[in-house]
Structure 1
Amino acid sequence: MRYLFAEYVLDTDRRELHRGTDVVSVTPQVFDLLDYLIRNRERVVTKDELINAVWNGRVVSDAALTTRLNAARSAIGDTGEKQRLIKTLPRKGFRFVGAVREAQRLTTVPLAHAGQNDDAAYRSPSPPRLSIVVLPFANLSNAPEQDYFVDGVTGSLTTDLSRINGSFVIGQHTALTYKGKSVDVRQIGRELNVRYALEGSVQRCNNRLRVNVQLIDAKTGNHLWADRFDKPFADLLDMQDEIVARIARTLDNQLIVAEARRAARTLNPDAMDLYFQGRHSCNRGVTLEYFAEARNFFGRALAIDPQNVDAMSWTALVETVLVAAFLTDHGPPYLAAAETLVLKALRLAPDHAWAHFTLAMVLIYTNRAAQGVAECERALALDRNLADAHEMMGQAKFYMGCGADTEFHVDEALRLSPRDISTFRWMNTAGFAKLQIAADAEAAAWFARGIEANRNYPLLHFGYAAALALLGRLDEAQAAAKTGLALDPTFTIRRFKNVPVRGGGANFFAGARRMVKGLHIAGVPEG
């Protein structure tokens, strides 16, 4: 059996660890430790289990175990600090968390014929979900000195995509072997056993840099998504970070769409199929209908796999957004359920960025905004492309009565992902923050931008109505309120006032009174 992960192959038949074409030297005990962790990657392995498997139950000191673990991490390019592949769960044990692909040797191919092409001696299973190779981008600038920038984009994208939970991303060293070669993407998909390939090109035109990207189905060769990023030429490293962040963020959503479509065609969906469908439902819109659909998918996923951290985190998010988007009159029970779920998820996966972000939401909506900001910072430390965390810090500032600081955080989210599916919500946050500080014209402008991005989000129309009413534009305010009520006939001022967040100090309450006044003037029912 061979286990393929990151840039490595663990060959249990030959007892060899490979990185690309190189053999990595490891001691027998380190090899056995890696083998045991990888074979049991679906669960947490206790210290006693490891000792029994590797040392046959002999008495071994904690220091000896730590030394072997450190050696194993070092052999596969991991560290005790990063824990990218091997996680230590305090007081519980250890777990291999890297995406692993298995390949079995065919008995019909003699070992004598195995060599550089011994991949032919293995039968690979179906490509893993979210499996992708970032092929080397083409430099179309006729400027060889920019090759380092083009390769940098490829390498950074490989790293950033590997942060997507559950993804399997082919290492850059392997991807670079295709540089400059004209190879059919479908052949690459078969050779690497991946579902998707990302191609791209970089071209400098006068003082602008243009980056084209295409996401391709590696089985059919069909283009699933394409986009172009066009920016004024500036500092290359800054541009690389921004371009990579935007592509990675967009790709996260595009891959969810692709996986959800595959899952919808599956006769017997498993937990991850159902999770992807739930994610897709959430992305379709912030409505009771879509969120009920998402909750159903996540619930079915958890019925199959009660420890599915992704489904837990997103269920908690659904419960929280029902309150945050004023879709319910009974906020506290939803928030309590969300907190219980997300804390359970974090006990199972302490470094799950989205779970930390969801916990931040729960904390902010239960009057613990400062702790919520800390959780947002933790989420961003784990995933620098998590634009939602920037916007959530803006919400925290709003609820702390510091609405003047909110716009900065919303702008950061928009800088990272200007065409994000969530921009309408971020603009809504900026609009209400402007209302809090009596910048009503700016508030109206933010709400108008949000409505342009998504006309089906009721809260934007109610915020717009309040801003227009406070500006004295009564006819427009009443029209905006009617549009909001057509989208959500259950919305009332009472629901708006009863949101469980009580905020910080006089500024928050003064701003809330202004918003309620605007809603009254615009004709929103009291309830």
Structure 2
Amino acid sequence: MERRLSAILSADVVGFSRLMGFDEVGTLTALKAHRRELIDSKIAEHHGRVVKVTGDGMLVEFPSVVNAVACSAEIQRAMPARNQNVPQDRRIEFRVGINLGDVIVDGDDIFGDGVNVAARLESIAPPGGIMISAAVRDQIGERLCLAFEDMGERELKNIDRPIHVFRVSLDDAQLAPERLSLDALAVPSKPSIAVLPFANMSGDPEQDYFADGLVEDLVTSLSKVSGLFVIARNSTFAYKGTNPDIRQVAKELGVRYVLEGSVRKAANRLRITGQLIEAASATHLWADKFEGAVEDVFDLQDSLTETIVGAIEPSLRRAEIDRARRKRPGSLNAYDLYLRAMPHVHANTPADTDEALRLLNDALKLDPNYAAAHGYAAWGHEQRFFRGGFHPEDRAAALEHVDIALSIGANDAQALSIAAFVHANMTRDYEGAIGVLERALKLDCNSALAFGFSALANAHSAQCERAVEHAHKALRLSPFDPLNYHPYCALAIVNLFRSRFAEAAAYSTLAIQSNPHFSVSHAYLAISQVNLGNVAAARAAAQRLREVAPGFTVGVFERGPSSTKALAAALRKSGLPD
């Protein structure tokens, strides 16, 4: 059954039954006149297709959300003049709801969740008003000179999840005077990417299936990355067999980043190359090549998908952070403030934590329902609690943000992962945290963040095999991630529990190299060196620990996760004060 991504407009007449009760013939005559003289021509002008008309309502499909909103705004603005000489209680007024979603095509009709959400948005629109989903708002960007009022998340009838809703304000703004082109879509506020068909460079037409399957897997896997807008495969495969200009592709698809690549077969080997490009500047953000045996083609496809997604996600994150840094302070929105907080979150020093919390709090003032920002704010307060004196207000703030992140971020793998880990550290409920982290990994099986936190949670609860598995998974997915001190610390903890002190020292050192300012890594190294009999090395690690965190003591370590009497005793022998 055919599917496609469409902008869906649902409209109906306010109080139609009441109007029909007053005057059936007059109401139907007036409604037909509005459609003939205004509505049908506007829909055609904006390249819409009337799917069905149901008495007082209609369902219209557009190839562009920009055109859908522009069309509805022009119609709603024209209606007051058409109703000027009609008594108030006899006027025909429309409600409109617009959504961007996947639809099932059956002949000339369309069905599915995308249609249902549009209908429910229409039902909550005021007379003469337009309600749109957040997906529509993201696509519009600044393409229309319209104001949008953020109505927050709303529970809609028979929709199994809250929908973030915006109201289109028609009072003060005017539509852009120029006709909007279908070949220029607005870039969403969040990072957006299109995966172009990979070129088959082998001269073997049979390898097309492999290249196409790899791209399809990449699109599916990238779609699971929280906060990433991914263009559907059907749209990008329109470029198959062409050599398009990347800037034009990005303009036509409304994306910020483009991934392209090639497949080459030589003897019994396959070589796949990929490169990630920021379209506006044509800058290469990441490039790599991968090889494998032809006989292992499907295993290779799975491995490539996992590796490429793992490499792309942190590359996109760094590019987005750099983009936010270039924006003027007065133009920052919640997403930009969140991005600016990320390097400070990753640094994990007292000063950086304070700055991260300042930026995250500013983001949450603009968007109180930003689940990931609540998660990172919880983490910031958790860091301050354990490394800043165990102040009860930090504990309370951490748990408050955890509760919000868990309640509004049920489908956000990133928010769930951070909130679960923070809650576990504050309450020692590692079993509960592991359950939430497993849910996060079902939502996004390529999340290095979730695997890293899961490795630590399992290590803290002495589930060593699972901790090792998830630590290595995190490192394989994102080998250059600034948060890799998490899986390295998990491996250090496991080896300390197993009395494999040389391995514990090695992983502690790798954690320190990943983030020299994370105090606990130095503690694990000092403990490892004590147990190896390297007293001088242990004292050097303890001294470095005091330089990184002057207030760190054995008592602080004892109140943290994974502390045992044996580990605390070893840390005391390194010269760290009680």
Q: TM-score, normalised by structure 1?
A: 0.76
Unaligned 5+ residue runs, structure 2? 11-38, 70-93, 98-109, 119-133, 137-152, 167-173
The one-character-per-residue Cα deviations of 1:128-167 (angstroms, maximum 9, x if unpaired) are 4312211112233443322222222212222222233333
Deviation at 1:22, TM superposition (A): 12
Distance 2:341 2:301 in 1: 32
The answer on 1:306 being equivalent to 2:330 is no
2:512–2:522 Cα contact (<8 Å) kept: yes
* AA aligned opposite 2:396: A
1:285-304 pair list within 5 angstroms: 285-304=347-366
**Is residue 523 of structure 1 aligned with residue 521 of structure 2?**
no
How far apart, in 2, do the equivalents of 1:318 and 1:6 lie?
41
Distance 1:108 1:344 in 2: 43
Q: Percent identity?
A: 30
- Which residues of 2 match residues 51-130 of structure 1 at below 5 A? 71-73=111-113, 89=155, 95-96=162-163, 120=181, 124-125=185-186, 128-130=189-191
CA spacing shift, 1:401–1:345, aligned 2, 3 Å = closer
Write the distance in 1 (CA, Å) between the matches of 2:391 and 2:243: 57
Q: Which residue of 2 aligns with 1:254?
A: 315
| CA offsets 1:161-207 (integer angstroms, 9 cap, x no match) | 22333332211111111122122111112222222111222345566
Taking the aligned partners of 1:24 and 1:161, their CA distance within structure 2 comes to 33
Contact 1:31 1:72 in 2 (8 A): no
- After TM superposition, the structure 1 = structure 2 runs for residues 349-498 of structure 1, keeping only pairs within 5 Å, are 349-365=409-425, 366-403=427-464, 405-498=466-559
8 Å contact kept, 1:404–1:437 = no
Q: Report the secondary structure of 1:7's partner residue.
A: strand
Equivalent residues of 1:450, 1:460 under 8 A apart? yes
Provide the C-alpha distance between the structure 2 equivalents of 1:185 and 1:16, rounded to a whole number of angstroms.
33
Q: Determine the C-alpha separation between the residues in 2 that align with 1:403 and 1:332.
A: 31
Instruction: Look up the match of 1:31.
Output: 59
| Matched residue, 1:202 | 263
Supply the distance in 2 between the matched residues of 1:147 and 1:22 (Cα, whole angstroms): 35
- Please provide the CA RMSD for this pair: 4.0
Does the 8 Å CA contact 2:526/2:537 hold for their aligned counterparts?
Answer: yes
2-structure distance, mates of 1:321, 1:140: 50
Provide the rounded CA distance (Å) in 2 between the counterparts of 1:232 and 1:287: 45
Largest Rg, 1 or 2: 2
* Other structure's SS at 2:181 match: helix
Residue 8 of structure 2, aligned match among 10, 14, 25:
10
Letter in 2 for 1:301: A
Letter of the aligned partner of 2:488 in structure 1? M
For the structure 1 residues 124 and 226, does the alpha-carbon distance in structure 2 shift closer, same or farther, using more than 3 Å as the test? Answer: same
Deviation at 1:435, TM superposition (A): 0.9
Q: Confirm or deny: 8 A CA contact 2:378 2:401 kept in the other structure.
A: yes
Asked whether the equivalents of residues 334 and 366 of structure 2 are also in contact (C-alpha less than 8 Å), the reply is yes
Q: Distance in 2 between matches of 1:331 and 1:380?
A: 32
Q: Which amino acid aligns with 1:361?
A: F
Q: What residue in structure 2 maps to residue 133 of structure 1?
A: 194
* Residues paired across the two proteins, number: 463
| Structure 1 counterpart of 2:348, one-letter code | V
Tell me the amino acid that sits aligned with residue 31 of structure 1: L
2:278 is aligned to 217
**Structure 1 pair 91–464 and aligned structure 2 pair: CA distance change class (3 A):** farther
Q: Distance in 1 between matches of 2:269 and 2:513?
A: 28
> In 1, Cα distance between the equivalents of 2:340 and 2:41?
40
Aligned to 2:17: none
- Counterparts of residues 253-292 of structure 1 (less than 5 Å): 253-267=314-328, 268-283=331-346, 285-292=347-354
CA distance in 2, matches of 1:232, 1:430: 31
Deviates more, 1:375-384 or 1:398-407: 398-407
Deviations 1:76-107 (A, max 9, x none): 999xxxxx9899959997644699xxxx9987
- State the one-letter code of the partner of 1:9: A
CA gap of 1:496–1:387, structure 2 versus 1, over 3 A, is: same
Structure-2 change in CA distance of 1:333 and 1:407 (3 Å): farther
Q: Specify whether residues 91 and 328 from structure 1 end up closer, same or farther in structure 2 by C-alpha distance, changes over 3 A only.
A: farther
